[in-house]
A and B are shown apart, each in its own frame.
Chain A
Amino acid sequence: MQPTKDSLYIALRDRLVAVDPNRTVTLDGVTRPAIAVLENEPPSGAPLLCDTFYLHWGNARSASLQAGTLMAMDCTIAYCTKGSVPNASLDRGRDLASLDCDLLAICSPPQTPKYDYSSSPPLALASTIFWTQPVLTAAKSVSPYVGRDVTITVFFYPEVNQT
């Protein structure tokens, strides 16, 4: 299961660098692509950062009886923005649209090879993960922020000895 989580994150991160190289964030003093897996970040009382995609993993289950060992796992990608100070935050809707656009771009094509990143160099697992089209929920507005959650379902075959 962990290679599936890691492979999705790496795929989305690398695609974000290609799609919008200027969308970066400074986390732990390091500037990196503005995407993070919440469970991989140090626990902190600090609020989540704006203009950053945060991946949250949800339910994992068998995909269906007919699909053999195929499994499905939900992933929620949350993000928000408060616009820019020079524009008095009036552009937060446009910024949200820009985030939406980037997210839709990095989710396509909806597949990527699966790697085991716990070994160095990463070990190809000779299989592919794939996911559903992103479902964008209604934008939530909590002044001065506006944001939304996007859900995808990731399908994968579990490895025999994977953790």
Chain B
Amino acid sequence: MSGLQETSPGRGCAARRLANALLQSYGATQVTIRVADPSTGDTGSQLGIEPPPSEDLQIAPCVATSLPPSEDGSPRFEFMLSATALAPIAKDHGVTDVATWLLTAEGVLHHDQLMHIDHVIVDRFSGSDCFYRIQATE
């Protein structure tokens, strides 16, 4: 019975909506994630001659939190996104594994600085992905 409750679609949907509402309550902050467009797969891109085209995705709501700096003193931030906000964008890009997709993104644009994505942590409640926490370093 408890297993049924954990995988209930209704509970998962409610948890996702609650997570999104929680982030909305912090304000209408948005974050820009730069992802590489699928390259043409030609020799030029495989040899690093032509940079792969990229696309900036603006995602809201988002909560940005400062983290302790890295060992070399570089500023680090955590960007918390809701699964509800990411779902339509991931669908448009044909993504099924959102966490891996975020981890392979080129970075997070923060104050005109492209930050490298170090980790992506997924918070799951009631069997559903609710939050994606992106930890990035300048």
Report chain A residues within 8 Å CB of B49.
Answer: 117-118
Q: Is B17 an interface residue (CB 8 A)?
A: no
With the chains together, A42 CA to B46 CA distance in Å?
10
**Which residue of chain B has the shortest Cβ distance to A120 in the bound complex?**
B44
**Besides A29-B94, A40-B47, A45-B117, 5 other CB < 8 A contacts?**
A28-B37, A29-B38, A30-B39, A39-B48, A118-B49
6 A-B interface contacts by CB (under 8 A): A40-B48, A44-B103, A44-B105, A45-B116, A45-B119, A46-B100
B43 part of interface (Cβ distance < 8 Å): yes
Contact check, B46 vs A9: say whether CB atoms are below 8 A apart.
yes
Interface range on chain A (Cβ under 8 Å from partner): 20 to 34
Most-contacted residue by chain B among A36, A42, A44, A120 (CB, 10 A): A42
Q: Is B104 an interface residue (CB 8 A)?
A: yes
Q: Mark B96-132, 1 if CB is under 8 A from A, else 0.
A: 0000100111100000000011110000000000000
Does B65 lie at the interface of the complex (its beta carbon under 8 Å from any beta carbon of A)?
no
A28 B47 Cβ-Cβ under 8 A? no
Q: Is the CB of B47 within 8 A of A46?
A: no
Contact B119 A13 (CB under 8 A): no
**Cβ of A28 and Cβ of B116 under 8 Å apart?**
no
Report the interface size class on chain B. 20 to 34
| B3 interface contact, C-beta 8 A | no
Q: How far is the CA of A66 from the CA of B79 in the complex (A)?
A: 59
Tell me if A31 counts as interface (CB < 8 A to partner B).
yes
B113 to A: closest C-beta gap in Å: 15
Answer yes or no: A91 CB below 8 A from chain B CBs.
no
Interface string of A34-55 (1 = CB under 8 A from B): 0011011111111000000000
* Complex Cα gap A44–B38 (Å): 15
CA distance A41 to B100 in the complex (A): 16
CA distance A109 to B21 in the complex (A): 62
> Bound complex: CA of A9 vs CA of B47, how far in Å?
8
Q: Which of A32, A40, A42, A117 contacts B41 (CB 8 A)?
A: A32
Question: Is B36 an interface residue, CB under 8 A from the partner?
Answer: yes
- Shortest Cβ distance from residue A117 to the other chain B in the assembled complex, whole angstroms: 6
Query: Is residue B70 within 8 Å, beta carbon to beta carbon, of the partner chain?
Result: no
> Residues of A contacting B52 with CB < 8 Å?
28, 42
Task: Establish whether residues A46 and B104, one from each chain, have CB atoms under 8 Å apart when the complex forms.
Answer: yes
B40 an interface residue at 8 Å Cβ cutoff? yes
Cα distance A6–B49 when bound, in Å?
Answer: 10
Q: Across the interface, do A32 and B46 meet the contact criterion of CB distance under 8 Å?
A: yes
Shortest CB–CB separation between residue B13 and chain A, in angstroms? 29
Q: Which 5 A-B pairs have the closest CB atoms?
A: A29-B38, A40-B48, A30-B41, A46-B104, A28-B39
CB of A40 within 8 A of CB of B106, answer no
Q: With A28-B52, A44-B103, A45-B119 in contact, do A6 and B47 touch (Cβ < 8 Å)?
A: yes
**Chain B CB within 8 A of A10 CB:** yes
